[in-house]
Each structure stands twice: as structure tokens, then as C-alpha cells.
Structure 1
């Protein structure tokens, strides 16, 4: 099963993120109201996923642990997750992307080790992303 589009925007210290809620398998829509955006760290961080749903949920859990470990420091937690994701044999097989944002940073985290912060504060991942 695969999930699709997440859009996020950070502007003047405010953050908004939303997802289409669609989960599909090949060309068949299996679910139309999946929750793909979550609030983390006392609702100060928004995180959304695109890609394989089960993989993304496993990554959410790890990301939430990293956020706690690094006291809400979003860039540090993102880099540490990306390092684990790239080097761990189990995690390397996960097929998902994470979009995460707080009032200062908007980040895309990919399994190949990338952590990208767009210049404009806009995130788009999944089939509706660039």
C-alpha cells in the first residue's frame, strides 16, 4: 500500500500542513481518510509522510524518539534520523518520505540520507510534490 500527497507551509512563525488522506494499492484507492499528518513534541512540530504507509509509521516512531532525545531540536533530530535511515540495514528498505516543520524550520527527510530545507518554507512530497 502506498500513500500520496503532503503539503506544508511555514510563514512568519506559523506552520500549516495537510495531506490528501488517500492510501492506494497500485491503481486502487483502499482508503480515503488516512491520517498522514501528526503533531509531535507537545504540538510544536508537524510531521507528514508519503510513500509506503507501514514504513512511514515506523519512521514516525523513530523520528518522535529522536525529537525527544534531542529536546525538540528539529534539525538535529532530522539529521540523526537520516543517518540511521541510511546506515541501518532494516531502515534502508523503508520506502517513505517525511516532511517535518516547526516555527523555524521546514525539512524534507529522505532515506538516502538527505535532509533538505527549502528556501521558501514550502514542503511538497508524494505524487503531488515536485
Structure 2
């Protein structure tokens, strides 16, 4: 995965910086209880999230909304972690988008920098995926801005990009990678099938999935 040059490199033991795996927060707490998957294939970008909210061993909600459209609906965003914290971050991120004219990479880097250094923001417990029609990033409170590497088929051709967060993220990542490499399914179809597989394996995710889509201009 490619990191923004302005993002802080995280070298904590056990921290996997690939976009499908940033599950740990700064003090060792683990973000779980969801699956969020973003796939870009061709001109289409699709993000999806399951609806389950889990508190300990109890399912508290089955149809939570974990996706947002930002900046005049030109940016897709999803979160894993605290809903209130994520919405506060979305608000801050949208202000960055306004400040930088919708520049996704600049806005992502600035949000990650503030999230890591601001005394109040760094208490917020969430991971974010943000995407437009051309780029996608995973953002964390550790200052990470992680851009996924391209997925390539056996011939070495780029067939798409994937980012995931949450406890079911690894399952969705594996499924989506295989589907991109070996099929001609659309981005929406890849996401639908991958989210179904993740929901069947991850006990903290369900099959009540919401989707948001963008097509590159």
C-alpha cells in the first residue's frame, strides 16, 4: 500500500499498515464490530458497510448507517468505530474538503495530521475510508493516510483497488481481491459478493448492507 508522504509511519509491533488491516487504535484498542469495503474498478467506485452494531457479546442494532456522502456528494466515506466520533471526524473532514477545493489527498493528510496532534481529536475512536472517483484512503488517529496498491491479474494488468476496515475487513479484502483478479464482475457486484462472504464469517457483521457509488467524471 502507498502512504502519503506527509503521513506518519507507524512502526508499532503487530501493526499491519496494509489498507485492509489497520484495526488497532493508538493505545491497543481494537476497532471491530463492522465491515466496510471500498472497491474501484474502471470508472466505478463503490463503498459498502454492514448494519450491525455490537456491544460486547450483544447485537444492539441491525441497520446502522455507516456511510456518508460528502462535499456535494462527490466524496464517499465510511467508518468503523464510535458513531459519534466518526460523525465529528466527517464534519471536520468536510471542512477540509471545502478549504482545499475538494482535493481528497490534501484534505486526508491534513485531517490525519490534526487527528494525531490535536488534544481533543486524538481521543476520537474510529477508522475512516474516504474515496472519490480516482483515489481512496484509509485514515486513522495514528496519523496514517494509506492508499491501497493496485490489484493486478495474472498478466500483470491493474484490475482495481480495494480498501477495507473493521473486523470483517480481512474476509472482504480476500474475497474482493480474488474476484477482481479472476472475474469481469463490476465493482458493485464484487462488493456485493465480498460483503456477503464477510457477513457469513465475521460474527460482528451482518448482511444488512448499504451501498454508495460514484462514477469518475
CA distance in 1, matches of 2:77, 2:45: 11
1:4 aligned counterpart, secondary structure: coil
TM-superposed CA distance for 1:3, in Å, is 4.9
TM-superposed CA distance for 1:8, in Å, is 0.5
What are the ranges of 5 or more consecutive residues in structure 1 without an aligned counterpart? none
Pairs within 5 Å for 1:1-130: 3-120=33-150, 121-130=161-170
CA distance in 1, matches of 2:97, 2:59: 32
CA distance in 1, matches of 2:54, 2:84: 13
Q: Which has the larger radius of gyration?
A: 2
What are the ranges of 5 or more consecutive residues in structure 2 without an aligned counterpart? 1-31, 151-160, 171-217
8 Å CA contact retained: 1:3, 1:52? no
Structure with a larger share of its residues in strand: 1
1:75 aligned counterpart, secondary structure: helix
CA distance in 2, matches of 1:27, 1:77: 36
CA distance in 2, matches of 1:42, 1:3: 29
Q: Deviations over 1:5-60 (max 9, x none)?
A: 10001121211001001112111111111111111112211000001121111111
The number of equivalent residue pairs is: 129
Give the alignment's TM-score, normalised by structure 1: 0.94
Give the alignment's TM-score, normalised by structure 2: 0.57
Write out the 4+ residue segments of structure 1 that deviate beyond 4 Å after TM superposition. Answer: none
